[in-house]
């Protein structure tokens, strides 16, 4: 069973758990439409999985038209549900840059934008994207640090990524699920912790499923 099928099987088994899958054909959308991705994305979406396309923004310094061109290709080639802006700035002054990109994605019919600063964001960023990855690092973020963000952000606005986690802590997952709308935890490590599904993926999803009931 390939990686895509593992995710699909888990979603079918736990339909109430929200799944957001980011695709990254070639450090972005790439230079051509890949039929393997077309088929894979179609199968993901058929089970209710939200698919977003990966675009890097170089912390707000990448040309807006270049980013919008990638967004347009993601919609045209793959009919994705949204966009994930990687290398997102969290500095005051870049809000309009990301608001512009979110507005453009939504104008094409996309329903979700995610930003990945990998750290906390100031309150001035509240409306620039739908969801922020406020932690992308080894181990777990502290629950206190996540809870502190709820002054300006709702649970649905926040997510985190933890890699290099050798053993799943289900009690942590339960507590963290009260603070964030999305999480990804994996035992994979750098330089690419996203090249395989974590060994405990089904346990993670089933824990979240039980928490929602």
Question: Which pLDDT value is given to residue 211?
Answer: 78
Helix axis angle, 35-46 to 3-13, nearest 10°: 10
83, 100 Cβ separation under 8 angstroms: no
Could you tell me the pTM of the whole model?
Answer: 0.95
Residue whose C-alpha is closest to residue 152's, from 175, 125, 182? 125
The pair of structure tokens assigned to 97 is 């840059």
Report how far residue 131's alpha carbon sits from residue 152's, in angstroms, rounded to the nearest whole number. Answer: 13
- Report the chain (213 residues): mean pLDDT per 10 consecutive residues: 91 97 97 96 98 98 98 98 98 97 98 96 93 96 87 90 97 95 97 95 96 68
Question: Which pLDDT value is given to residue 145?
Answer: 87
Residue whose C-alpha is closest to residue 86's, from 74, 78, 77, 98? 98
What the chain holds in terms of domains, given with CATH numbers, is: 3-212 (3.20.20.70)
3-state secondary structure 38-97: HHHHHHHHHCCCEEEEEEECHHHCCCHHHHHHHHHHHHHHHCCCEEEEECCCCCCCCHHH
Report how far residue 106's alpha carbon sits from residue 52's, in angstroms, rounded to the nearest whole number. Answer: 12
């Amino acid at each position: 069973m390939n990686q895509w099928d593992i995710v699909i099987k888990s979603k079918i088994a736990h339909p109430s758990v929200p799944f957001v899958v980011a695709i990254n054909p070639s450090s972005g959308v790439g230079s051509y439409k890949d039929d393997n991705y077309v088929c894979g994305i179609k199968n993901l979406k058929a089970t209710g999985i939200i698919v977003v396309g990966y675009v890097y923004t170089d912390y707000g310094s990448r040309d807006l038209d270049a980013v919008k061109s990638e967004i347009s290709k993601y919609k045209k080639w793959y009919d994705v549900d949204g966009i994930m802006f990687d290398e997102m700035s969290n500095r005051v002054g870049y809000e309009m840059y990301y608001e512009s990109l979110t507005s453009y994605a939504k104008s094409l019919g996309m329903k979700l934008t995610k930003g990945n600063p990998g750290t906390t964001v100031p309150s001035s960023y509240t409306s620039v994207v739908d969801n922020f990855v406020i932690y992308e690092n080894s181990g777990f973020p502290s629950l206190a640090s996540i809870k502190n963000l709820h002054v300006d952000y709702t649970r649905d606005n926040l997510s985190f990524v933890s890699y290099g986690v050798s053993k799943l802590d289900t009690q942590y997952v339960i507590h963290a699920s009260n603070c964030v709308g999305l999480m990804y935890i994996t035992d994979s490590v750098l330089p690419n912790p996203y090249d395989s599904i974590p060994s405990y993926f089904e346990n993670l999803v089933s824990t979240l499923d039980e928490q929602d009931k």
